[in-house]
Structure 1
Amino acid sequence: MPAPPPAPAPQLSFDELGTPLRDVVFVVLDLETTGGSAQRDTITEVGAVKMRGGERIGELATLVDPGTGIPPQVVALTGITTALVTGAPRLPQVLPSVLEFLAGGVLVAHNAPFDAGFLRAACERHGVAWPRPPVLCTARLARAVLTREEAPSVKLSALAELFGTATRPTHRALADARATVEVLHHLLERIGNLGVQSLEELLTLVRDATPHRPTERQRRNRHLARAVPSAPGVYLFRGARDEVLYVGTSGDLQRRVRSYFTAGERRRRIRDMVAQAERVDTIVCAHALEAGVHELRLIAAHRPRYNRRSRNPNASWWVAATAEAFPRLSVVSTPRDGALGPFRSQSDAKEAVDTVLEAVPLRPCTLRIPARGAAAGPCVLYELHRCAAPCAGYQDVDGYAPAVATWRDLVHGAVDEPLQTLADEVATLAAGERFESAARRRDRLAGLVRALGRAQRLTALAELAEVVGARPDGRGGWELAVVRHGRLAAAGVARRGVPPMPVVDALRAGATTVLPGPGPLRGATPEEMRLLHGWLTAGGTRLVLSTQPWEEPARGAGSWAEWARRARPVEVAVD
Structure 2
Amino acid sequence: MEIAVQGTLDELGTPLDQVTFVVFDLETTGGSPAEHAITEIGAVKVRGGEVLGEFATLVDPGGPIPPFISVLTGITDSMVMAAPRIDSVLPAFLEFITGATLVAHNSPFDTGFIKAACAALGYPAPANPVVDTADLARRMLTRDEVPNCKLGTLARFFRAATEPCHRALADARATTDVLHALLERAGSLGVHTLEELRSFVRTPTPEQQRKRHLADSVPSAPGVYVFEDRRGEALYVGKSGNLRTRVRSYFTAGETRSRIREMIGIAERVRTIVCATGLEAEVRELRLIGAAKPRYNRRSRFPEKVVWLKLTDEPFPRLSIVRELRADDAAYLGPFGSSRAAEDARTALHEAVPLRQCTERLSATRLRSACALAEIGRCGAPCEGRESQADYALHVESARRAMEHDAAMVFTAVEARMERLSVEQRYEEAASERDRLAAYVRTAARMQRLRGLTRIPHLVAAAPAFDGGWELHVIRYGRLAAAGVMPRGAHPTPYVEALVATAETVAPGPGPTPAASAEETECILRWLESPGIRLVQIEGGWSMPTHGAARLKARIDRAYEPLARRSQREGRPLR
For Structure 1 versus Structure 2, the TM-score category normalised by the shorter chain is: 0.5 to 0.7
- When residues 433 and 227 of structure 1 are mapped into structure 2, their CA distance, relative to the original with a 3 A threshold, is closer
* Secondary structure of the corresponding residue to residue 331 of structure 2: coil
1:566 Cα shift? 4.5
* Secondary structure of the corresponding residue to residue 352 of structure 2: coil
Could you tell me how far apart the structure 2 residues matched to 1:268 and 1:500 are? 48
- When residues 569 and 387 of structure 1 are mapped into structure 2, their CA distance, relative to the original with a 3 A threshold, is farther
Please name the residue that 1:541 is paired with.
Answer: 533
Is the counterpart of residue 324 in structure 1 residue 317 in structure 2? no
- When residues 331 and 208 of structure 1 are mapped into structure 2, their CA distance, relative to the original with a 3 A threshold, is farther
RMSD: 3.9
* Secondary structure of the corresponding residue to residue 224 of structure 2: strand
* Secondary structure of the corresponding residue to residue 513 of structure 1: coil
1:568 Cα shift? 6.9
Residue identity in the other structure for 1:306: Y
Please name the residue that 2:365 is paired with.
Answer: 372
Is the counterpart of residue 340 in structure 1 residue 333 in structure 2? yes
Q: Deviations over 1:116-139 (max 9, x none)?
A: xxxxx9xx99xxxx9xxxx9x9xx
TM-score for the superposition, normalised by structure 1? 0.59
Could you tell me how far apart the structure 1 residues matched to 2:440 and 2:466 are? 38
* Secondary structure of the corresponding residue to residue 342 of structure 2: helix
Q: Which has the larger radius of gyration?
A: 1
* Secondary structure of the corresponding residue to residue 504 of structure 1: helix
1:214 Cα shift? 3.3
Match of 2:269 among 279, 288, 295: 279
Residue identity in the other structure for 1:353: R
1:480 Cα shift? 2.3
Please name the residue that 1:408 is paired with.
Answer: 400
Is the counterpart of residue 290 in structure 1 residue 280 in structure 2? yes
* Secondary structure of the corresponding residue to residue 293 of structure 1: helix
Q: Deviations over 1:326-358 (max 9, x none)?
A: 211111112345210011111110000000001
CA contact (8 A) 1:299 1:313 kept: no
State the number of aligned residues.
382
Match of 1:531 among 513, 523, 528: 523
- When residues 347 and 443 of structure 1 are mapped into structure 2, their CA distance, relative to the original with a 3 A threshold, is closer
Q: Deviations over 1:376-417 (max 9, x none)?
A: x32211112111112222222222111111111222216744
Please name the residue that 2:201 is paired with.
Answer: 210
Please name the residue that 2:298 is paired with.
Answer: 308
- When residues 438 and 313 of structure 1 are mapped into structure 2, their CA distance, relative to the original with a 3 A threshold, is closer
The within-5 A match list for 1:549-564 is: 549-564=541-556
1:433 Cα shift? 7.7
Task: List alignment gaps of at least 5 residues for structure 1.
Answer: 2-112, 114-120, 138-143, 145-204, 571-575
Please name the residue that 1:355 is paired with.
Answer: 348
CA contact (8 A) 1:373 1:393 kept: no
Could you tell me how far apart the structure 2 residues matched to 1:543 and 1:443 are? 38
Residue identity in the other structure for 1:258: R
Match of 2:497 among 477, 488, 505: 505
Q: Deviations over 1:132-152 (max 9, x none)?
A: xxx9x9xxxxxx9xxxxxxxx
Match of 1:480 among 472, 475, 499: 472
Please name the residue that 1:456 is paired with.
Answer: 448
Is the counterpart of residue 249 in structure 1 residue 239 in structure 2? yes
Please name the residue that 2:384 is paired with.
Answer: 392
- When residues 400 and 465 of structure 1 are mapped into structure 2, their CA distance, relative to the original with a 3 A threshold, is same
CA contact (8 A) 1:212 1:266 kept: no
Shifted more, 273-282 versus 555-564: the winner is 555-564
Q: Deviations over 1:442-475 (max 9, x none)?
A: 4533432221111111122111111222223344
Task: List alignment gaps of at least 5 residues for structure 2.
Answer: 3-101, 103-114, 130-135, 137-195, 563-575
Please name the residue that 2:109 is paired with.
Answer: none
Could you tell me how far apart the structure 2 residues matched to 1:392 and 1:292 are? 54
TM-score for the superposition, normalised by structure 2? 0.59
1:436 Cα shift? 6.2
Residue identity in the other structure for 1:391: C
> Percent of aligned pairs with the same residue?
47
Residue identity in the other structure for 2:448: Q
CA contact (8 A) 2:344 2:435 kept: no
The within-5 A match list for 1:170-209 is: 209=200
Match of 2:486 among 470, 481, 494: 494
Could you tell me how far apart the structure 1 residues matched to 2:531 and 2:270 are? 35
Is the counterpart of residue 299 in structure 1 residue 289 in structure 2? yes
The within-5 A match list for 1:134-149 is: none
Q: Deviations over 1:22-47 (max 9, x none)?
A: xxxxxxxxxxxxxxxxxxxxxxxxxx
Could you tell me how far apart the structure 2 residues matched to 1:398 and 1:341 are? 27
1:510 Cα shift? 1.5
Residue identity in the other structure for 2:201: T
Residue identity in the other structure for 1:382: A
Q: Deviations over 1:476-512 (max 9, x none)?
A: 3332221111111111223443344543332222211
* Secondary structure of the corresponding residue to residue 299 of structure 2: helix
CA contact (8 A) 1:314 1:527 kept: no
Higher relative contact order (CA 8 A, sep 6+): 2
Could you tell me how far apart the structure 2 residues matched to 1:442 and 1:256 are? 41
CA contact (8 A) 2:348 2:440 kept: yes
1:428 Cα shift? 6.4
Could you tell me how far apart the structure 2 residues matched to 1:402 and 1:473 are? 52
CA contact (8 A) 1:471 1:540 kept: yes
Is the counterpart of residue 469 in structure 1 residue 461 in structure 2? yes
Is the counterpart of residue 445 in structure 1 residue 408 in structure 2? no
Q: Deviations over 1:417-441 (max 9, x none)?
A: 4444444555666678876665554
CA contact (8 A) 1:406 1:415 kept: no
